Amino acid sequence: MTIRPEERLATAVARLILDPSAPPVRHAAVGNASAIPAAACLLVKAMGNPLRISLLTRPRGNPFTEGGRELFDLTGQGRVDLFFLGGGQIDGQANINLLGTGEWPGTAARFPGSFGSAFMYMMTGRTILFREEHSPRVLVEKVDMISAPGVSPPGVFRRGMAQALVTGRCVFRFDAARARFALESVHPGETVQSIRAQTGFDFDVADAVPETPDPTEQELALLRGPVCDGMLETYPEFCARVFNRRLAA
Amino acid sequence: MFLANADALAATVPDGALIAVPPDYSLPPCALGHALVRRGAKGLRVLGVPITGYVADLLVGAGCVAEVESSAVTLGEAGFAPCFTAAVRAGRIRMRDATCPAIHTALQAAEKGVPFMPLRGVIGSDILAHRPDWKVVQNPFADTEDQILLVPAIRPDIAAFHAAMADEEGNVWVGRRREVATIAHAALRSIVTVERMVPGNMLEDERLAPGCISATYIDAVAVAARGSWPSGLLDERSADIAHYAEYARLAKTEAGFREYLDRYVLAPRAEAAE
């Protein structure tokens, strides 16, 4: 059975969510353009782990009844344990840039804007950074503008930081104390050298870097069954492309 | 006050007004946006609560906007907002970048009638360095160092949104999209297009009342069926994905944007005048 790259990424993210060395996740919130993180959360739940999942853009049955601010109020209290963020640029200190490049506020390229990242990154228990494009233009030594900082100085309240950065080529772990990434695993077809060539920041490498494992038969069956069922309404195009499933009219 | 249509609502919006709008997934005032383009509004300051998309992009492209304050401007799955992106890069509009909870918090301060409210996070973001109106202070209740952000209240001149229905008393119903209620509470005036009118008073119905915004906050209502199109309407209607894609494609060039306006925005006025 052919494993799609999206299925491998969702499984890699699910394993990070379940990592026993990281703070436990009771409640994960998933934003708009985050179909693979949503699949990962639903996979964790389908494997029998208790997990509350708030899909922020769910068109029906949205979990928030107090308006858009409720997510941020919950997160401010520490009731959201896991969030996902991406970036037009992500740098070696885990700073993210959703604003643009060139001079402020984006004279070279302008991205949509920071959304809630400047708050969510600092107030969530942990964040998994996710960006499929892994290239020197995205993974840079230093972001042109900081939407949300990777680390914060003492005297600034911060609940959590990046746990990892998952891309279309590899998984990096983030060491918050050193503000530095380490290569955790490479996806099939990649090597330490190919990752170095496609990454604008320096990172640590152990003597032997494993390949990102394949999803198990059980994980694949769950992804293509109940996980897809749970995503169809919120991520219809993703489900059509990856699982070849469409909502009944 | 009940008005005839979206154009009559747009006539009450003065040039230069600070106009607050909800995101594309939450009852955006698209018919009103079209009417503002037809009116030739100038110098508007658009506040995305907490983000915006089609409405702001259309108004920017039509030359109606001097300033945008928002946490993002995006067409979602259809991609970047083309007119907004081009205008920022060319310096044609002022962009005041924010982050979602800062906008919610600033409006909540206005709801309460207090001058500012504190917010966690944000310190270390470059957004803060470009917001001289935001201040970082020591938490006056803490014994140890604890820096915290204060954002000033935002009192929009106008809240503009679409709602599923209005009743005879002028109450409007927005379901669980309560950020729209926050905008209405905070603004000096609220103008609302509605899908339909219903008889009676929705506040007398225990099931409808929690999704209502009381007429206390509403200044003018006009019926505009499909007034949030091409966005969706709660659980009644999905977003018109094909139209978003068409807009995103046409608005990439000046000629394409003019073609879009002629076909979808300016033509309806000619029809109405016949």
| Residue range B51-63, pLDDT digits in tens | 999 999 999 999 9
Per CB-CB distance under 8 Å, the chain B contacts of A234 are none
* Inside any domain, residue A60: yes
> How close B197 comes to chain A (CA, Å)?
23
Per-residue tokens: A51: 């997990």
Residue A49 structural domain: 5-242
pLDDT of residue A184: 97
SS3 labels along chain B? CEECCHHHHHCCCCCCCEEEECCCCCCCCHHHHHHHHHHCCCCEEEEECCCECHHHHHHHHCCCEEEEEECCEECHHHCECHHHHHHHHHCCCEEEECCHHHHHHHHHHHHHCCCEEEECCCCCCHHHHCCCCCEEEECCCCCCCCEEEEEECCCCCEEEEEEEEECCCCCEECCCCHHHHHHHHHCCEEEEEEEEECCCCHHHCCCCHHHEECHHHCCEEEECCCCCCCCCECCCECCCHHHHHHHHHHCCCHHHHHHHHHHHHHHHHHHHHC
Identify the CA nearest to A203 among candidates A182, A184, A218, A232. A182
**A82/A46 Cα distance (integer angstroms):** 17
Q: Which domains does chain B have, with CATH numbers?
A: 2-98+155-272 (3.40.1080.10), 116-152 (no CATH)
pLDDT at A115 over 60: yes
> How close A111 comes to chain B (CA, Å)?
7
- Report how many Cβ contacts below 8 Å link chain A to chain B: 149
Per CB-CB distance under 8 Å, the chain B contacts of A146 are 124-126
Encode A119-150: b = buried (16+ Cβ within 10 Å), e = exposed.
Answer: bbbbbbbbbbbbbeebeeebbbeebbbbbbbb
* Inside any domain, residue A178: yes
Interface of B with A in 17-76 (CB under 8 A): 23, 25-26, 49-51, 70-74, 76
Q: What is the pLDDT of residues A56-97, one digit of tens each?
A: 877 777 888 999 999 999 999 999 999 999 999 999 999 999
In chain B, the largest separation of any two C-alpha atoms, in whole Å, equals 71
Q: What is the pLDDT of residues B147-156, one digit of tens each?
A: 999 999 999 9
Per-residue tokens: B256: 């394409």
pLDDT of residue B274: 44
Interface of A with B in 141-160 (CB under 8 A): 145-149, 152-157
Q: Which residues sit opposite A183 in a β-bridge?
A: A172
**B7/A119 Cα distance (integer angstroms):** 38
Q: How far is residue B196 from each of residues A64, B51, B162, B223, measured CA to CA in Å?
A: 25, 26, 11, 6
Encode B177-206: b = buried (16+ Cβ within 10 Å), e = exposed.
Answer: bbbbbbbbbbbebbbbbbbeebeebbeeee
* Inside any domain, residue A123: yes
Tell me if B121 and A69 make a contact (CB, 8 A cut-off). no
Listed in sequence order, the DSSP H helices in A124-204 are 192-198
Say what angle helices A35-46 and A5-17 make with each other, to 10 degrees.
60
Tell me if A68 and B26 make a contact (CB, 8 A cut-off). yes
Q: What is the pLDDT of residues A147-203, one digit of tens each?
A: 999 999 999 999 999 999 999 999 999 999 999 999 999 999 999 999 999 999 999
Give me the residue from A57, A62, A152 closest to B176, CB to CB: A62
Instruction: Give the burial class of A247: count Cβ atoms within 10 A of its Cβ; 0-12 exposed, 13-18 middle, 19 or more buried.
Output: exposed
Q: What is the pLDDT of residues B11-40, one digit of tens each?
A: 999 999 999 999 999 999 999 999 999 999
- Give me the number of domains chain A comprises: 1
* Inside any domain, residue A80: yes
* Inside any domain, residue A34: yes
- Residue A114 amino acid letter: S
SS3 labels along B227-264? CCCCCCECCCECCCHHHHHHHHHHCCCHHHHHHHHHHH
Q: Residues A228, A233, A234, A238: what is their CA dihedral angle, to the nearest 10 degrees? A: 50
> How close B270 comes to chain A (CA, Å)?
34
The answer to whether residues A10 and A45 touch, using CB atoms and an 8 Å cutoff, is: no
**B170/B1 Cα distance (integer angstroms):** 7
Tell me if A113 and B51 make a contact (CB, 8 A cut-off). yes
**B72/B51 Cα distance (integer angstroms):** 5
> How close B28 comes to chain A (CA, Å)?
14
* Inside any domain, residue A37: yes
Average pLDDT (B67-80) is: 94
* Inside any domain, residue A247: no
Tell me if A118 and B25 make a contact (CB, 8 A cut-off). no
Interface of B with A in 238-267 (CB under 8 A): 238
pLDDT at B268 over 70: no
Per-residue tokens: A171: 């998984």
Q: ipTM of this predicted complex?
A: 0.95
Q: Which residues sit opposite A141 in a β-bridge?
A: none
> How close A185 comes to chain B (CA, Å)?
30
- pTM over 0.90, yes/no: yes
Average pLDDT (B105-122) is: 98
Q: What's the CATH code of the domain at A132? A: 3.40.1080.10
Q: How far is residue B163 from each of residues A200, B9, B204, measured CA to CA in Å?
A: 47, 14, 18
Q: What is the pLDDT of residues B90-101, one digit of tens each?
A: 999 999 999 999
* Inside any domain, residue A248: no
The answer to whether residues B65 and B46 touch, using CB atoms and an 8 Å cutoff, is: yes
